[in-house]
Amino acid sequence: MEILATDTEQLIKETAKRVFFAEGKLHATTQEIADAAGINRASIHYYFRSRQKLFDTVFIEATTEMRSKIQDIMEGGFSFRERTEKFIETFIEKSLKHPYLEMFIATEINTNPAIQLQLSKPSKEKENLKKLEDDIKNAVAEGRMKPITPHHFIISMMSLCSFPFLGRDIIKNAFSINDEEYKKLIAERKDVIIKLLFLDA
Amino acid sequence: MEILATDTEQLIKETAKRVFFAEGKLHATTQEIADAAGINRASIHYYFRSRQKLFDTVFIEATTEMRSKIQDIMEGGFSFRERTEKFIETFIEKSLKHPYLEMFIATEINTNPAIQLQLSKPSKEKENLKKLEDDIKNAVAEGRMKPITPHHFIISMMSLCSFPFLGRDIIKNAFSINDEEYKKLIAERKDVIIKLLFLDA
Amino acid sequence: MEILATDTEQLIKETAKRVFFAEGKLHATTQEIADAAGINRASIHYYFRSRQKLFDTVFIEATTEMRSKIQDIMEGGFSFRERTEKFIETFIEKSLKHPYLEMFIATEINTNPAIQLQLSKPSKEKENLKKLEDDIKNAVAEGRMKPITPHHFIISMMSLCSFPFLGRDIIKNAFSINDEEYKKLIAERKDVIIKLLFLDA
Amino acid sequence: MEILATDTEQLIKETAKRVFFAEGKLHATTQEIADAAGINRASIHYYFRSRQKLFDTVFIEATTEMRSKIQDIMEGGFSFRERTEKFIETFIEKSLKHPYLEMFIATEINTNPAIQLQLSKPSKEKENLKKLEDDIKNAVAEGRMKPITPHHFIISMMSLCSFPFLGRDIIKNAFSINDEEYKKLIAERKDVIIKLLFLDA
DNA sequence: AATGAATGAGGCTTCATTCAT
DNA sequence: TATGAATGAAGCCTCATTCAT
């Protein structure tokens, strides 16, 4: 009995994640989510009090996993190049699962002050940036990169990773390509990005 | 005085563009727009019949200008490098004005089949891609680029241009920077992008 | 110039009568009437102050004519039978012009206390009823009618006249007949009614 | 208690029937109906989705009962005279409950193609008319009626039944009578009608 | 634990009406 | 005289939320 209760809560969360972040229906109503989950609309309020609470919950769950993976990579003792490659892999992998999560963050972060998106713990922010700056300097000295500020490096990397998902429909529309061709482009993406960021790739 | 008649219509459109695409309130109500414009909500319906019609109108106006500028660049007899630089300039300039326009397109293009976003006229699509392929080949032969497919080149270029705006709040949030510092980053952006795309930059 | 003004006022009234009472659009908006008349909506208010005033005006005009004709018949020195026949003729003739006028009266007389529909001047009501009672008595005595109270006689006569118009669409629908066949029925109506009311018809 | 669930739905329907068809407020707003029922306006939408759906529902319920009763009479093996009397009784009885239902049909049947009002099943229409024609012929031969076509007979019968209700306020107004006197007239009505339709009544 | 019923708040739209010209 | 512009009032509908069970 008790397990069923948890099951329903889990079912609602998973359905919500799918509807919100996989299908891109960021403004789905509680009724739509209830229908998709095959449960009563009131159950959503029973478990989560409000639509917003449900949304916050699944949003945090969906981003936390990503953030901790990134943190593992950053602090895993990898080389600069390895770290970059793993970041790109992780980012693409996660985006394949929740293509619209990034989009939500981009859209709502300005209206919803509750959303905080730190790439690294605030305490380590300065430190991490400094480390990246050194890494870049070394790479430049070795002819593996052109000079670039840490901020621009991160922005460029995130740009190259994010946009293919953020702009999925723009791309499909602009190139008149189907799902299969789009997936092929995504699969090739990591190599393209690395080649753009590193001269010796 | 005589212009006043059209003035309200114009005022509504400009306010709507600002609210929707500059302030990012893509789901602003007619009341919010009316308040922002200092007019009665019914006036919006007087001029545009429905919220959707208003939205469509300002959306088309906002994108058409951009699209025609891009087309001018593509067919202006410029060199590959010049074309790329001008595209980036134009894109950044437009995005400074309507940072959330791109976001709306990204969000809604899949649910609103009316939105068509061709980079080039369908009739010239193949031709333009072929031309780009040749340009890239030449640049590679001359050591000014690494090999890259036309599709990936365009996606990368758009990524590097678009994301700083799409993800404005993500960036500001992640780097804990203020508006001024953000603007500085944007101002430096064109050079950064060109340096990533071209070896000889 | 001044004549034009009157022309517009007249045009509005005639259009309103047509739309309201001939076409049966009893809830036509001022815009619909303005469109039908080919004039500006505000003109209606310029001439009539409000939709209601326009309605009242055309309603009174449309009924007054009818009422005065009926009064002429009642006081014209005709025999009972002649009076009855003339009443029926007049009623049918008028209803052909404004088939929905009766319907409006029926619908709105209870919510609109302004609408007063006297068959005869209040002062003469009693007198007229008494006269009718005598007429019926005589006709019964002569074997030309069955006994009937004046009220029931009037109600029956009005029923037989009115309903074919009030229920025009019901009749057309129930009998699956077209306009032509309907008109034929109406044309035969007077004789049918007289035959039902008078034994010697 | 358990019935309560359906009770509100039933209450809304009954209130709507009363407001629409008994009180004649054919254009009553959802708020008026909600107030009359003592419930929240949103409940109407909860149960019926839209004002139109509610209206259609109660309209169909109100007419279906009547229509099936009429059909029972038509196919009940009664004599012509019995059938006619029963029709009149049923019609008057129903009209006492919903005096404005007929009026709505008359008003809206031409604008609302969904409203179909067959007196008999389309398949039996011809047959029933033929039967009525024979009945009339027999009655004429026996001196109980004057010659009349089936269409005119039906129209006359419906006229005499319907109008006292359609024109209730016209009658009360024209005769300056009160509710009691009006009811008395209605109570006498059946005999009056039969006397007009049949010579031997 | 779960749900059907009911509601308050808020959105879009229409319409008669007013106002300035 | 006539009208385009603008508005307030009021209507319908949807949605998240609450409540009783």
CA of B111 to C1' of E9 (A): 28
Residue D2 — pLDDT band, cuts 50, 70, 90?
Answer: very low
Q: Distance of alpha carbon A128 from its chain centroid, rounded? A: 20
Residue D113 — pLDDT band, cuts 50, 70, 90?
Answer: low
Contacts of C86 (CB under 8 A, 6+ apart): C73, C78
In angstroms, the separation between the Cα of residue B2 and the nearest Cα of chain A is 39
SS3 letters for chain C? Answer: CHHHHHHHHHHHHHHHHHHHHHCCCCCCCHHHHHHHHCCCHHHHHHHHCCHHHHHHHHHHHHHHHHHHHHHHHHCCCCCHHHHHHHHHHHHHHHHHHCCCHHHHHHHHCCCCCCCCCCCCCHHHHHHHHHHHHHHHHHHHHCCCCCCCCHHHHHHHHHHHHHHHHHCHHHHHHHHCCCHHHHHHHHHHHHHHHHHHHCCCC
The yes-or-no verdict on residue B13 having pLDDT over 90 is yes
Residue B100 — pLDDT band, cuts 50, 70, 90?
Answer: confident
Q: Given CB atoms, is B185 within the 8 Å cutoff of chain A?
A: yes
CA of A52 to C1' of E3 (A): 21
Cα(D132)–Cα(C112) distance, rounded to whole angstroms?
Answer: 42
Structure-block tokens of residue B119: 């980079």
Query: Residues B80-87: what's their mean pLDDT?
Result: 96
Sign of CA dihedral B166, B170, B173, B175: negative
CA of A178 to C1' of E12 (A): 37
Instruction: Please answer yes or no on whether A160 and B160 come within 8 Å at the CB atom.
Output: yes
The yes-or-no verdict on residue B2 having pLDDT over 80 is no
User: Which amino acid belongs to residue B12?
Assistant: I
Residue A145 lies in a domain: yes
| Residues B115-127 pLDDT 10s | 666 566 677 778 8
Contacts of B190 (CB under 8 A, 6+ apart): B85, B88, B89, B92
Contacts of C170 (CB under 8 A, 6+ apart): D105, D106, D109, D117, D158
Residue B187 lies in a domain: yes
Chain C residues inside the 8 Å CB shell of D140: none
CATH number of the domain bearing residue D32: 1.10.10.60
Could you say which nucleotides of strand E lie within 7 A of any protein CB atom? 1-21
pLDDT of residue A110: 65
Contacts of A41 (CB under 8 A, 6+ apart): A30, A31, A34
Instruction: Please answer yes or no on whether D158 and C155 come within 8 Å at the CB atom.
Output: no
Range of the domain at A191: 61-197
Q: Flag whether the pTM goes above 0.85.
A: yes
Same domain, B17 and B114: no
Sign of CA dihedral B8, B9, B15, B16: positive
Residue D54 lies in a domain: no
CA of D108 to C1' of F4 (A): 35
pLDDT of residue B4: 39
Same domain, A120 and A185: yes
The yes-or-no verdict on residue D92 having pLDDT over 80 is yes
Residues 121..140 of C with a Cβ closer than 8 Å to D: which? 122, 125
3-state helix, strand, coil in chain B (%, to 5): 75, 0, 25
Q: Measured CA to C1', what is the nucleotide nearest B41?
A: F7
Instruction: Please answer yes or no on whether B155 and A163 come within 8 Å at the CB atom.
Output: yes
Residue B126 lies in a domain: yes
User: What is the tally of structural domains in chain D?
Assistant: 2
Which residues of chain C register pLDDT less than 50? Answer: 1-5
Helix axes A51-74, A41-48, angle to 10 degrees: 60
Instruction: Please answer yes or no on whether B173 and A118 come within 8 Å at the CB atom.
Output: yes
The yes-or-no verdict on residue B24 having pLDDT over 90 is no
Give the closest residue to C15 by CA, choosing from C41, C1, C4, C2: C41
Same domain, D69 and D42: no
Same domain, D68 and D39: no
Average of per-residue pLDDT values in chain A:
90
Chain A residues inside the 8 Å CB shell of B189: 152
Which of helix, strand or coil describes residue A62? helix
Chain D residues inside the 8 Å CB shell of C166: 106, 162-163, 166
The yes-or-no verdict on residue D3 having pLDDT over 70 is no
CATH number of the domain bearing residue A107: 1.10.357.10
Same domain, A87 and A34: no
Question: CA C125, C126, C128 angle in degrees (round to 5)?
Answer: 65
Same domain, B78 and B167: yes
Give φ, ψ of A95 to 5 degrees.
-70, -30
| Residues D183-194 pLDDT 10s | 999 999 999 999
Contact assessment for residue A66 and residue A94, using Cβ atoms and an 8 Å cutoff: yes
In angstroms, the separation between the Cα of residue A93 and the nearest Cα of chain B is 18
Cα(B60)–Cα(B78) distance, rounded to whole angstroms?
Answer: 27
pLDDT of residue A148: 98
| Residues A50-108 pLDDT 10s | 999 999 999 999 999 888 999 899 888 999 999 999 999 999 999 999 988 888 887 77
Same domain, A95 and A187: yes
Same domain, B23 and B73: no
Residue A105 lies in a domain: yes
Sign of CA dihedral C163, C169, C174, C175: positive
Query: Residue-wise over A41-51: b if at least 16 C-beta within 10 A, else e?
Result: eebbeebbeee
Average of per-residue pLDDT values in chain C:
90
Same domain, B151 and B92: yes
Contact assessment for residue A17 and residue A61, using Cβ atoms and an 8 Å cutoff: yes
Residue C166 lies in a domain: yes
Residue C32 lies in a domain: yes
Same domain, D162 and D97: yes
Give the closest residue to B108 by CA, choosing from A26, A17, A115: A26
Q: Given CB atoms, is D192 within the 8 Å cutoff of chain C?
A: yes
pLDDT of residue C1: 40
Same domain, B68 and B154: yes
Residues 96..125 of C with a Cβ closer than 8 Å to D: which? 102-103, 105-107, 109-111, 116-119, 122, 125
The yes-or-no verdict on residue A155 having pLDDT over 60 is yes
Give φ, ψ of B143 to 5 degrees.
75, 20
In total, the C-beta contacts within 8 angstroms joining chain C to chain D are: 131
Query: Residues B147-155: what's their mean pLDDT?
Result: 97
| Residues A130-154 pLDDT 10s | 999 999 999 999 999 999 999 999 9
Same domain, A71 and A154: yes
Residue with tokens 């006397």: D195
Q: Residue B58: in which H helix or E strand, if any?
A: helix B51-74
CA of B42 to C1' of F3 (A): 19
More confident residue, C126 or B43: B43
Helix ranges (H only) for chain D are 4-17, 30-37, 41-48, 51-74, 80-97, 101-108, 122-141, 150-166, 168-175, 179-197
The yes-or-no verdict on residue A111 having pLDDT over 90 is no
Residue B44 lies in a domain: yes
